[in-house]
């Protein structure tokens, strides 16, 4: 079939230089693959083609395995040797650098997490290669919470990306394809909605019937095949993606008949359907008993063939073979974990657990424990706790107190990640009590380590240093490198409040131990705690370096919880340094997460940012953060949001709530100077009444404090300090106005007028309807006709945030629709 209405996009692809990313999107059957194949046919460049398969739990790095089979040199060797993930990624990049090449990753909406990380890794570095990366995906299947959205969001503002969105065919093009002897062109266009695949399926039917759905069109074509050919079609249909030609349970003549009829394609040693829609239509029509039989055959043949465990477990589950599911799901999970696809690992362990009836209690406990660990790495805290609790019960029934104590210690951390801090502390105390009754061993090391970690998180500095130091000694004695890394992490993080220089040395030892253990999660945790602890004591250069390192490390290894926490903390550092747009973008990158600490940090930053910018919704955001923080009971969560709520109250002319003084008292009791200072300033102490344990700038006079804040890079706090001195109000006002901190600027201006001082007139550039700068940006995009999702991509904010801005704009302009707001913006600009 000719490619109609696609020539402009073909020309764009042909003109696209090396070192670029091309995104080809559109609904299923719209012709994405046909367009890319037409572009690649006849290219003098090397073409490397990989596909994401529609498995329930995709094969990790499936497209890269496809590409490696077509490649040579280091990439093929790295994949064959199952090298570490970073080695595979770099080998792929080297392949694109060595010679001109086009790498295609098809159907990225089905990609596993490791493949998505590969796309992000490559997209960031493609400009330095001789390659072109082409990614196809169904945009109608990629919602705001789809994993691919993170990749698309990262590329949203990159102008070097070529975006191709294919539209349905027009009625005229459908009429051209139909010609004079086909069905009614208008009816076909209306029924098919201009979908090229639907149209070609109808035209391939000799009777030219126009069915209701694509499925009906595919089945109508299949009805015209001979019985042997129909059986061959069924045999191929149970293989998602493709069937290895030698394993197709059908005579070659029958397969050739399907190829001649246009139902199947022979691609080297692979047999596949022309489109996944067609495969699904045929598979759904296979009788249940026949389908089970075909999956049993596929499982047996693929097992002998030595196929990937992810494919084996798919066929095992479809065949209802419990023993095979248990074997292959475990292997698939371990392989997924090895390349950082922790969500796929968790899904495979869940598959195994669904077939675990009848296995021994010990094996069941091990499966539950591994599922919990994989869920924890994948950011599924609730599932991690549930499986770990069930495993603890199994170990208790088995009488294995060592494993019981050890897992209770780990589960306490999973509970903390959910914000259930009281339960977390109770569980780690139980673990310690049980382990201390046993001979010294790994259970005792785990209990002391996680006890120290939770004490550090609760800011019990002496307890964390004492318990963590003992845990480190035990860990070294028993050769527990991962637990040594965690114990040193707890000690080093606690030392920031008392010995910052020693803290860095201890944290670097933790990082070294984590690397020696080969524990990616412990490495990420050491990095993020180096960053967050440094940020808490306002050492921002150190903080930002390690937080960015943590984000990169965790993104490359699918460690979602740690990555989201590092991202949230980087947002906090950027916010405190006055880089508010960058901070908001970081908050949006945190995205949806089950990790309660990440949510608290991100919400607190967003709420305080809205407060300082005078934008709507600040109180609701801070209330949500406060509710989550109160559930933890930890000062490090409570203190920033309490300070944010107090600031909002001050800017609104109200008194702070009782939570301020309660958290201040906790800070004094724990001796955390930065918390004492920030919370204490909102209690408005009299001169000379500032607590002696408060951090240095809170004990200085206004000018000294302003200089301190300026030197560490906190312009808002510098302006706040100057605002305490009548002689420096004008300078404070300039500082607030430069940041766009309108509420604080208004407070200073009122005080200046009260003192009889002249205040500068507000800039004539202020929006006449009181829109904030960000709302003015959104209004400009509304005038361009952009949807919320497109506004979110353009401004690098979440779709939900874009929606809030649109609602606020409508309210401020007094209009009901986006179109009215856009017209209002046009009129305002003309006048």
pLDDT band, residue 195 (cuts 50/70/90):
confident
Enclosing H/E stretch for 792: helix 788-795
Give the residue among 163, 161, 145, 93 at the shortest CA–CA distance from 121. Answer: 93
pLDDT band, residue 419 (cuts 50/70/90):
confident
| Secondary structure of residue 542 in the 3-state scheme | helix
Tokens 């029934």 correspond to: 397
pLDDT in tens, 19-60: 999 999 998 889 999 999 999 997 888 999 999 988 888 889
Residue 655 pLDDT greater than 70, yes or no: yes
Residue 830 pLDDT greater than 70, yes or no: no
More confident residue, 536 or 778: 536
Angle at 317 between CA 311 and CA 318, to 5 degrees: 90
Residue 76 pLDDT greater than 80, yes or no: yes
pLDDT band, residue 829 (cuts 50/70/90):
low
CA distance 546 to 543: 6
pLDDT of the residue at 764: 38
Residue 321 contacts residue 539 (beta carbons within 8 Å): no
Question: Measuring CA to CA, how many Å separate 737 from each of 329, 429, 562, 748, 754?
Answer: 59, 51, 36, 10, 19
Which range is least confidently modeled, 144-158, 222-236, 354-368, 519-533? 144-158
CA distance 430 to 412: 10
Give the residue among 516, 519, 488 at the shortest CA–CA distance from 502. Answer: 488
CA distance 678 to 664: 9
pLDDT band, residue 208 (cuts 50/70/90):
low
Residue 223 pLDDT greater than 50, yes or no: yes
DSSP string, 319-382: HT-HHHHHHHHHHHHHHHHHTT-HHHHHHHHHHHHHT-TTS-HHHHHHHHHHHHHHHHHTT-HH
Tokens representing residue 101 in the block: 């090449």
| Secondary structure of residue 166 in the 3-state scheme | coil
Question: Measuring CA to CA, how many Å separate 614 from each of 55, 648, 734, 786?
Answer: 48, 9, 17, 25
CA distance 690 to 666: 16
Which range is least confidently modeled, 238-247, 363-372, 751-760? 751-760
pLDDT of the residue at 158: 77
Give the residue among 322, 404, 398 at the shortest CA–CA distance from 362. Answer: 398
Cα-Cα-Cα-Cα torsion 390, 392, 395, 399, nearest 10 degrees, comes to: -130
Four-residue CA torsion sign, 478, 479, 481, 482: negative
- pLDDT average, residue stretch 726-746: 93
pLDDT band, residue 799 (cuts 50/70/90):
confident
Tokens representing residue 138 in the block: 């169904």
pLDDT of the residue at 151: 87
Residue 694 pLDDT greater than 70, yes or no: yes
CA 139 to chain centre: 18
pLDDT of the residue at 179: 82
Give start and end residues of each alpha helix (H) in 580-686.
580-590, 596-613, 618-632, 635-651, 658-670, 673-682
Number of neighbours of residue 300 by Cβ within 10 angstroms: 15
CA distance 21 to 161: 5
pLDDT over 70 percentage in the chain: 96
Residue 732 contacts residue 719 (beta carbons within 8 Å): yes
Residue 624, phi then psi, degrees to nearest 5: -65, -45
CA 647 to chain centre: 31
Residue 160 pLDDT greater than 90, yes or no: no
- pLDDT average, residue stretch 488-502: 93
| Secondary structure of residue 761 in the 3-state scheme | coil
Residue 359 Rama label (left phi>0; alpha psi -120 to 50; beta): beta
Give start and end residues of each alpha helix (H) in 400-441.
401-417, 421-435
pLDDT of the residue at 689: 76
In angstroms and rounded to an integer, the radius of gyration of the C-alpha atoms of the chain is 30
pLDDT band, residue 403 (cuts 50/70/90):
very high
- pLDDT average, residue stretch 208-221: 76
Fold agreement between 13-167 and 773-830: no
Q: Judging by beta carbons within 10 Å of its beta carbon (0-12, 13-18, 19+), is residue 260 exposed, middle or buried?
A: exposed
pLDDT of the residue at 335: 92
- pLDDT average, residue stretch 771-798: 79
Residue 324 pLDDT greater than 50, yes or no: yes
- pLDDT average, residue stretch 351-369: 94
Residue 539, phi then psi, degrees to nearest 5: -95, 80
Q: Judging by beta carbons within 10 Å of its beta carbon (0-12, 13-18, 19+), is residue 666 exposed, middle or buried?
A: buried
CA distance 301 to 314: 13
pLDDT in tens, 545-604: 999 999 999 877 767 788 999 999 999 999 999 999 899 989 988 877 778 899 999 999
Query: In DSSP terms, which residues pair with 106 in a beta bridge?
Result: 51
> In the CATH scheme, what is the code of domain 773-830?
1.10.10.10
Helices 635-651 and 596-613 sit at what angle, rounded to 10 degrees?
A: 20
Residue 614 Rama label (left phi>0; alpha psi -120 to 50; beta): left
Residue 420, phi then psi, degrees to nearest 5: -95, 70
> Taking the domains of the chain in order of start, what are their residue ranges?
13-167, 169-210, 773-830
Return the DSSP state at 2.
-
pLDDT in tens, 243-280: 999 999 889 999 999 999 888 999 888 999 988 888 88
Residue 530 contacts residue 511 (beta carbons within 8 Å): yes
pLDDT of the residue at 206: 66
Mean pLDDT over the full length of the chain: 90
pLDDT of the residue at 136: 97
> In the CATH scheme, what is the code of domain 13-167?
3.40.50.300
- pLDDT average, residue stretch 738-767: 80
DSSP string, 11-48: HHHHHPPSSEEEEEE-STTSSHHHHHHHHHTT-SSEEE
CA distance 352 to 327: 8
Return the DSSP state at 658.
H
Residue 359 contacts residue 343 (beta carbons within 8 Å): no
Helices 560-576 and 580-590 sit at what angle, rounded to 10 degrees?
A: 160
pLDDT band, residue 788 (cuts 50/70/90):
confident
Residue 695 contacts residue 683 (beta carbons within 8 Å): no
pLDDT over 90 percentage in the chain: 63
Tokens representing residue 170 in the block: 């027009």
pLDDT of the residue at 326: 96
pLDDT of the residue at 590: 86
């Amino acid at each position: 079939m000719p490619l109609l209405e696609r020539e402009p996009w073909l020309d764009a692809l042909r003109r696209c230089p090396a070192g670029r990313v091309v995104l080809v999107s559109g609904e299923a059957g719209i012709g994405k693959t046909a367009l890319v194949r037409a572009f690649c046919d006849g290219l003098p460049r090397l073409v490397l083609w990989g596909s994401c398969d529609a498995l329930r739990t995709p094969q990790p790095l499936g497209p890269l395995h496809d590409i490696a089979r077509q490649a040579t040199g280091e990439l093929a060797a790295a994949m064959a040797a199952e090298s570490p993930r970073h080695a595979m990624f770099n080998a792929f990049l080297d392949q694109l650098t060595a010679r001109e090449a086009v790498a295609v990753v098809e159907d990225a909406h089905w990609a596993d997490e490791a493949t998505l990380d590969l796309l992000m890794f490559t997209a960031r570095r493609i400009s330095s290669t001789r390659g072109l990366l082409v990614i196809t995906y169904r945009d109608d299947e990629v919602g705001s919470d789809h994993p691919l959205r993170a990749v698309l969001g990262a590329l949203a503002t990159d102008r070097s990306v070529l975006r191709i969105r294919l539209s349905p065919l027009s009625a005229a093009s459908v009429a051209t394809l139909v010609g004079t002897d086909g069905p009614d062109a208008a009816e076909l266009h209306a029924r098919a909605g201009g979908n090229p695949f639907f149209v070609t399926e109808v035209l391939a039917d000799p009777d030219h019937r126009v069915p209701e759905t694509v499925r009906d069109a595919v089945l109508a074509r299949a009805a015209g095949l001979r019985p042997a050919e129909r059986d061959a079609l069924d045999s191929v249909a149970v293989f998602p993606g493709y069937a290895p030609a030698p394993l197709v349970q059908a005579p070659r003549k029958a397969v050739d008949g399907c190829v001649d009829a246009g139902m199947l394609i022979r691609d080297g040693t692979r047999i596949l359907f022309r489109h996944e829609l067609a495969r699904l239509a045929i598979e759904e029509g296979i009788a249940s008993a026949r389908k089970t039989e075909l999956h049993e055959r596929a499982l047996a043949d693929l097992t002998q063939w030595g196929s990937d465990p992810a494919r084996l477990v798919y066929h095992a589950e479809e065949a209802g073979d419990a023993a095979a599911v248990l074997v292959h799901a475990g292997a698939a999970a371990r392989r997924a974990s090895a390349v950082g696809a922790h969500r796929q690992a968790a899904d495979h362990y869940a598959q195994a657990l669904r077939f675990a009836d009848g296995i021994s209690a010990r094996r069941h406990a091990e499966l539950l424990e591994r599922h919990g660990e994989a869920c924890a790495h994948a950011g599924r805290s609730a599932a991690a706790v549930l499986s770990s609790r069930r495993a603890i019960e199994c170990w208790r029934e088995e009488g294995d107190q060592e494993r019981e104590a050890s897992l209770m210690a780990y589960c306490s951390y999973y509970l903390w990640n959910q914000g259930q801090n009281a339960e977390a502390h109770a569980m780690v105390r139980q673990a310690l009590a049980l382990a201390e009754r046993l001979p010294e061993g790994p259970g005792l090391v785990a209990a002391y380590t996680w006890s120290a970690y939770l004490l550090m998180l609760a800011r019990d500095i002496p307890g964390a240093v004492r318990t963590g130091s003992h845990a480190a000694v035990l860990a070294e004695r028993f050769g527990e490198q991962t637990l040594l890394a965690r114990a040193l992490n707890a000690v080093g993080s606690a030392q920031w409040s008392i010995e910052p220089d020693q803290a860095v040395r201890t944290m670097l030892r933790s990082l070294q131990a984590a690397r020696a253990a080969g524990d990616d999660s412990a490495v990420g945790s050491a990095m993020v705690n180096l960053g967050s602890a440094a940020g808490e004591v306002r050492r921002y250069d150190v903080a930002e370096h390690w937080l960015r390192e943590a984000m990169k490390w965790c993104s490359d290894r699918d460690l979602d919880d740690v990555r989201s926490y590092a991202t949230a903390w980087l947002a906090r550092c950027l916010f405190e340094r006055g880089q508010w747009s960058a901070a908001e973008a970081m908050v949006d990158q945190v995205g949806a997460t089950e990790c309660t600490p990440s949510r608290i940090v991100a919400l607190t930053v967003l709420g305080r940012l809205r407060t300082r910018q005078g934008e709507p919704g600040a109180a609701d955001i801070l209330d949500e953060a406060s509710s989550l923080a109160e559930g933890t009971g930890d000062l490090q969560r409570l203190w920033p949001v309490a300070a944010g709520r107090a600031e909002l109250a001050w800017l609104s002319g109200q008194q702070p709530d009782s939570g301020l003084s309660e958290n201040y008292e906790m800070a004094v009791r724990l001796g955390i100077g930065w918390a004492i200072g920030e919370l204490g300033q909102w209690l408005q102490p009299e001169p000379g009444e500032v607590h002696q344990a408060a951090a240095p700038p809170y004990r200085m006079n206004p000018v000294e404090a302003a200089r301190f804040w300026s030197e560490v890079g906190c312009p808002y706090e510098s302006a706040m300090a100057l605002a305490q001195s009548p002689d420096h109000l004008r300078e404070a006002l300039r500082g607030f106005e430069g940041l766009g901190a309108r509420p604080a600027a208004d407070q200073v201006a009122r005080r200046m007028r009260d003192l009889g001082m002249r205040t500068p007139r507000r800039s004539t550039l202020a929006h006449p309807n009181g829109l904030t700068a960000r709302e003015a940006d959104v209004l400009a995009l509304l005038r361009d006709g952009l949807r919320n999702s497109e506004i979110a991509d353009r401004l690098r904010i979440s779709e939900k945030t874009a929606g809030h801005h649109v609602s606020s704009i409508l309210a401020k302009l007094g209009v009901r629709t986006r179109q009215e707001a856009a017209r209002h913006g046009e009129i305002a600009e003309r006048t």
